[in-house]
Amino acid sequence: SREEITYFGAGPALLPTNVLNTAAQALVNYDNTGLGLAEHSHRSELATGIVNTAKADLAKYLDVPDDYEILFMQGGGSGEFSATVYNMVSIWVERRKQRILKELGIEGGKEIPEDELVMQLQKAVDEELRIDYLVTGSWSLKASQEATRLVGAEHVNVVADSRKANDGKFGKIPEESTWKLSKNPAMVYYCDNETVDGVEFPEFPKTLEPNGDDGPIIVADMSSNILSRRIPVKNFSVIFFGAQKNLGSTGITVVIIRKNLLPPAVATPAPTLLRKLGLPIGPIVLSYETIAKNNSLYNTLSIFDVYIAGQVLKSLLSTFPDKVDGQQAIAEKKAKTIYEALEAYPESYKIVPDKSARSRMNICFRVTHGGDVDAAEKNFLKGAVSNGLTGLKGHRSVGGIRASNYNSIQLPGAEALAKYITVFAKEKA
């Protein structure tokens, strides 16, 4: 039964049982309407209510300021690798266009010399359009590869690649003094917590701290650590995350975006202009402007998934009067409990990432005792399962053990894993 196991899978992840029970009922008969939530129209009043409540509760829990909009999208974290490129490149072009028009002395309403504008914009695109990526693990690497696929390598700047000073492996965050940021990038992109490699930014990078309205556009993937610690939302232009780890079930992706990146502050350039400039035109369902304009209901959204996310947020808000700070304290305690158990037996375990960048959410380690790592890890996993500790196998690309320590893992679950780590090492000593 659910009570007998603790599931440490990386995502989809464990969901609180009380939320699932409520959702199961809502799936069959929501609020005595005789219809389940997967059947009700996304255009109904109740659907809008569920969307608006989830948005408000998310904003409350994370203290999202009023000048940010929250969007529910589809396409997962991977969809956002593309969406961020399409949207931020468009914004870069639009801002550049406005600058050129100003330089040409063209005021609103007057005729625009189209050829001249396109020529100047093309020059700017060719010479200056850059998207900056901090590559600190498998997911930021994938995001940068998607950017290369969409706009070409000449427009993608890898600010730093943590494999370079680390034997070709991820596990560290490069010194900020070595980062090579572009002059006026369309965005600076990073992944706050690398799920596969167990690398988490300890805090917001000093180098990226805002310096007024002209500061760079900062975009972060927080798929695997959102809702687990306080974030300085003000420092970000866009934060995105798939729901399936700390927020809810697979199927929705959340975008928190500063309103000055949406109309009326900034318009989306005409597709004809982007086409002339040889830049990609994104699918309409990945357009932040379109999704924002329609309060996330441009097309059929899974209201059932939004409902589950909403129930998780309600549960977090009622458990922690101090909101995300309360959850953060527990997340830190759980991670500390597991890391300390591993550190106590250096002969038996090797923690993969450097201590300075250890993730609180995805704890990656190797089982090293006896010399035969493969056999030791197989044994470790087998013993774990018989102790009710499941989902601990590392990502197929890196192997090893990974304990995903998301919010729904309660402290006793983390303690049970720490105890097993200790017992296993002692038995083999």
The footprint of ligand PMP (CB under 6 A) covers 11, 76-78, 139, 191, 195, 221, 223-224, 242
Q: Which residues fall within 8 angstroms of residue 115, CB to CB, at 6 or more apart?
A: none
CB 392 within 8 Å of CB 386: no
Q: Looking at beta carbons only, is 190 or 304 nearer to ligand PMP?
A: 190
Q: How far apart are CA 59 and CA 188, in angstroms?
A: 24
Measured in whole angstroms, how far is the alpha carbon of residue 382 from the centre of its chain? 31
Q: Which residues fall within 8 angstroms of residue 158, CB to CB, at 6 or more apart?
A: 133, 135, 144
Measured in whole angstroms, how far is the alpha carbon of residue 316 from the centre of its chain? 19
End-to-end CA, the chain? 33
Q: Please, what is the minimum distance in Å from the beta carbon of residue 242 to ligand PMP?
A: 4
Q: Please, what is the minimum distance in Å from the beta carbon of residue 281 to ligand PMP?
A: 22
Measured in whole angstroms, how far is the alpha carbon of residue 53 from the centre of its chain? 21
Q: Looking at beta carbons only, is 217 or 247 nearer to ligand PMP?
A: 247
Q: Looking at beta carbons only, is 268 or 296 nearer to ligand PMP?
A: 296
Q: Please, what is the minimum distance in Å from the beta carbon of residue 219 to ligand PMP?
A: 12
Q: Please, what is the minimum distance in Å from the beta carbon of residue 317 to ligand PMP?
A: 24
Q: Looking at beta carbons only, is 139 or 304 nearer to ligand PMP?
A: 139
| Token pair in block for residue 121 | 């914009």
- Running DSSP on this structure, what letter comes out for residue 355? G
Q: Please, what is the minimum distance in Å from the beta carbon of residue 391 to ligand PMP?
A: 13
Q: Please, what is the minimum distance in Å from the beta carbon of residue 222 to ligand PMP?
A: 8
Q: Could you give the angle at the alpha carbon of 218 between the alpha carbons of 217 and 220, nearest 5°?
A: 145
Q: Please, what is the minimum distance in Å from the beta carbon of residue 179 to ligand PMP?
A: 20
| Token pair in block for residue 2 | 């659910």
Three-class DSSP category at 161: strand
CB 26 within 8 Å of CB 37: yes
In the beta sheet, which residues pair with residue 4?
none
Q: Looking at beta carbons only, is 30 or 139 nearer to ligand PMP?
A: 139
Q: Looking at beta carbons only, is 120 or 223 nearer to ligand PMP?
A: 223
